[in-house]
Amino acid sequence: MPTTGKITSYDLLIDGLRLVRWPNLIMAALTLALTRYAIIGPFYTEGGLIPLTTHLLFFLMAGATVLVMAGGYIINDLYDVATDKINRPDKQIIGFTYTPQGASNLYYILTGIGWAMAGLASSLMGRHEPVLIVGLCTGLLYFYSVRYKRQPFIGNLVISLLSAMLIGIIWVTELYNLLEHPEVMGTLISKLPRLYTLLTGFTLFAFTSSMVREWIKDCEDISGDEQTNCKTLAVKIGIKKMRLLIAGLILLNIITLAWFQYLIYHQNYSVTTFYLMVVQYLWLRLLESILSKKETDWHNASSQAKIIMLAGVLAMQTLSIDF
């Protein structure tokens, strides 16, 4: 609920955490950590090596990414005040606990700290890529809020790509370090196809599951989007066609996940293979909800999609059991 009366420090803290979508930030941090410590790390320790991306370098890159994401949520709400008045009138923060200027200041502070952390990571690596990656993420989040989210499909694509980049950022950082140490690359070269299978599988899962949730959110927010002239895909083609489109993408997810399970099972990741059956079951439950003859509860479907995304992220941890 919007805060009324005197605004306390406690109000600023709690609503500040809500403003930056703290559960989503925790999921992002978890994705980054598991990519580094549950996927990439074991390939080194398996050969008696230590990952070239140190704990400090990982902390700097992960911290920069999460802070830029937090800023992205703020700038999104700043450009979404009119729509949120219609879609989520009881959850508005900007204009109540935080003034637009206060929220804007918080955006610059978080994004600035993120850039500083990326700059330090670049300095430690002696390369410009960390800053460039964080700059790309910042730019995509900004233009998503200002323009892309009001266009059909392009906004969904940007967010899905950013979700997939959470895995790619850590691997790219490690890869650049690896290229500087050919002797380590030579030791790991035989393991790289197996590593690429895992990274590609989880990256595709992050992309497609995020796209499902984005389309569901478009359906959930269609009323406010129509009234504020946001030309999302749901507004352009209608709920009936969106229902079929979402169902088709869920089926594609189920099929590609089954193929991924087949590949990793034959690489002796049996625990992860069977764990992913839980994710398959969750996809089927969501598909049933989307295709139900009753009117779809889009808010509930969005929550289901988020649970599936979390379950997919947690699958990374099961890989360590099979190493």
Tell me the per-residue pLDDT of 269-285, one tens digit each, with 9 for 90 and over: 999 999 999 999 999 99
Band the pLDDT of 2: cuts 50, 70, 90: low
The chain-wide mean pLDDT, for the chain, equals 90
Q: How confident is the model at residue 49 (pLDDT cuts 50, 70, 90)?
A: confident
Mean of pLDDT values over 200-226: 93
CATH class of 1-190: mainly alpha
The CA distance from 211 to 250, in Å, is 10
For the ranges 3-7, 93-97, 179-183, the lowest mean pLDDT is seen at 3-7
Whole-number Å distance between alpha carbons of 107 and 142: 11
Q: How far apart are CA 23 and CA 8, in angstroms?
A: 23
pLDDT of 3 over the 80 cut: no
pTM of the shown model = 0.91
Cα dist from 294 to 110, 145, 308, whole Å = 43, 33, 22
User: What residue type is 85 in one-letter code?
Assistant: K
Q: Is 276 helix (H, G, I), strand (E, B) or coil?
A: helix
Percent of the chain clearing pLDDT 70 (strictly above): 98
Rg (CA), the chain: 21
* CA distance readout (Å), 25 to 54, 67, 69, 182, 311: 22, 9, 7, 35, 16
Band (132; pLDDT cuts 50, 70, 90): very high
pLDDT reading at 4 higher than 60: no
Instruction: Using the predicted structure, report yes or no on whether residue 1 has a pLDDT greater than 80.
Output: no
pLDDT at position 272: 95
pLDDT: is 61 or 87 the higher one?
Answer: 61
pLDDT at 208 over 60: yes
